[in-house]
Structures are given as structure tokens and as C-alpha cells.
Amino acid sequence: MKKIVALLGALSLIVLTGCGQIDSAATIGKITISQASAQATVDEVLADRAKVDTTGMQIQTGAALNRSQLRFTIITTIFDEIAKELKITISSTEIAKAKSDLITQSGGEAALAKNLVSAEIATSSFDRYIRAIVISNKLQAALSASGVADTDISARITQLISAKAAQLKVTVNPRYGTWDQANGEIVATDSAGSAVVPSNK
């Protein structure tokens, strides 16, 4: 797909780490992720953990969990924006099939709750995760069809995400850390060290 290659060349790599709105956890272009929304996701992850046996799982806590959940929302939002840019359509049927296939491959509905906890994906974020997978699969297919070697596809998708994040100007509230443009990560800083605990509801 020539448009993907052209998009990679057209997007400038700009790194911004401030945050324009006091109550926001992050902004991706005109899209704002509120601190309340970020906290709610973390609360849900922690609540889901309490329902299963987490023995042997390598799961994050505190500020690390805070950053990873915010990054998940940022990255999946970027995938959505890439899909809009490249006019990639995702039908409800595709989402349903991908979801069913993943559940089957992962041990069925009975194992779903534990698998989501292990992957640190909130139950309400599962469809968002599936959508990102479908978009990624379509990007892989398009890149392959355009002649990109299979061994290079993953790196090209990473470049595409980085470039789109730069174009949109991803910003992160210093409370959570700073946005690492090159690696698509939220890096801890001294001001981002406070742990996230369930909010009182």
C-alpha cells in the first residue's frame, strides 16, 4: 500500500512531553484521556485481579501499572487514528470473529478472565484490544502486498505508530512520566513516582 509508505515519509518526528490540560492524563492530538478515565481503568484491572488466582503471574503494581494502562490507551488510540488516516474499515463482524478466535485459542470463555488478568487488560478494554489487533493485521497484510519483506513488517508498523504519534503530538501529564517517542513508552520520572491504588467509589 503506497499510502502507508507515503504517510511514513510525510509525518515529522516531534517529541512533546508536557500536558496542556491539568486534569488530563494524556492527550493525543485533539483526544484527551482524563485522569479519572485512566484511574478507572487501573481500578478495573485491580478489581479483576481480586477475582482470580494470580499466583505465578508477573503483574505490575503502583506507578508501573499506572503507566502501562495509560500507554495501552495511547497506543490503541493511535491505531484507531492510523486506521482513519488510511481509511481502514473494521466491521463488527470482523471484531466478533477475531474475539471469538482469540478466546478459543486461549482456552475458551472459562479461561478468559484469568488470561485478561495475566495480560493486564481490563475486561472493558478487551474489545479495544481486539480492534487494535484487527487493525494491525490489516496493516501487516497491506505492507506485505506492497512488497515489504515479512521480516521487516513489524519494524515498519512500529515506525508507523511512532510517526503517527509524532504527528498527533502525544503529551503525557508529568505525574505519569514522559513520553518516549522513539520507543512508544511512558518513562518514569521523579514526578511520576506515586503509586496508583483503587479509588474510593
Domain edges within the chain: 2-10+18-192
pLDDT computed for residue 189 by the predictor: 83
pLDDT computed for residue 135 by the predictor: 97
Cα-Cα end-to-end distance for the chain: 48
**CB atoms inside a 10 Å sphere around CB 10:** 10
Residue ranges in the chain whose pLDDT is less than 70: 1-22, 190-201
pLDDT computed for residue 199 by the predictor: 45
pLDDT computed for residue 168 by the predictor: 94
pLDDT computed for residue 198 by the predictor: 43
CATH architecture under which domain 2-10+18-192 falls? Orthogonal Bundle (1.10)
Beta bridge partners of 170: 28
**CB atoms inside a 10 Å sphere around CB 8:** 14
Distance CA 140, CA 154 (A): 8
Residue 123 has what DSSP assignment?
Answer: G
pLDDT computed for residue 132 by the predictor: 97
Q: What is the pTM assigned to this prediction?
A: 0.82
Per DSSP, the three-state class of 201 is coil
Distance of CA 167 to the CA centre of its chain: 17
pLDDT computed for residue 182 by the predictor: 83
